[in-house]
A and B are shown apart, each in its own frame.
Chain A
Amino acid sequence: AQKITQTQPGMFVQEKEAVTLDCTYDTSDQSYGLFWYKQPSSGEMIFLIYQGSYDEQNATEGRYSLNFQKARKSANLVISASQLGDSAMYFCAMREGLGTSYDKVIFGPGTSLSVIP
């Protein structure tokens, strides 16, 4: 079964506008972490933001924020004031088994974001 779902294969946003990239996940663990990564066309994977399952506040990192709704098992990425350089693939990832010796991370299928000037 798919553990990470990203339902938007492709998204467009106007420069300077905000955009939300969806991510839902499935886990029976109580302690887990959620990550978002950016992968430009050059191929490198760039870490953007992290949310722990026990964090009470939504994570923020500059123009990136994570809309974490634990009961719905969703962890949507919000990018404010989009820039042309934000055009890339965006991956949601989950790390289960936090605090144990087991540390597996799995990725979703990704969303391709295109910023329009």
Chain B
Amino acid sequence: GAGVSQSPRYKVAKRGQDVALRCDPISGHVSLFWYQQALGQGPEFLTYFQNEAQLDKSGLPSDRFFAERPEGSVSTLKIQRTQQEDSAVYLCASSTQGAGKPQHFGDGTRLSIL
């Protein structure tokens, strides 16, 4: 399949541990987005990359959250010293540039902090 791939699908961590979530976008997609989705809510924007450049990180909730996309393809969202409120589904989406180009979403990583 040539869709957006996220791993792991599920992640359980103890409070205080660091976690890393991976996103493998569709090949050739310039734009990559990370969202946080709480149960019953809409996706909340976290950060946006255009190739390797992180153009907007205004949605990252704290300095414990860090995202990178060093070669303009695979991206990693890292959360340090996790807290219970970090429990959510983390969605990654990619798209080509241009008007009307929809985002293609991965299946998400469901993160549970105990």
Contacts and interface: CB of A to CB of B under 8 A. Distances in A.
Interface stretch (B18-26, B67-75, B79-87, B96-104): B96-104
Interface secondary structure of B, over-half rule? strand
B42 interface: yes
Contacts of A31: 99
Contacts of B100: 33, 50, 52
Given A45-B91, A52-B99, A107 B107 contact: no
**Chain A interface, DSSP helix/strand/loop, else mixed:** loop
Contact of B48 (A4, A50, A104): A104
Contacts of B41: 109-110
Contacts of B33: 105
Interface of A: 4, 31, 33, 35, 43-45, 47, 50, 52, 91, 98-99, 101-110
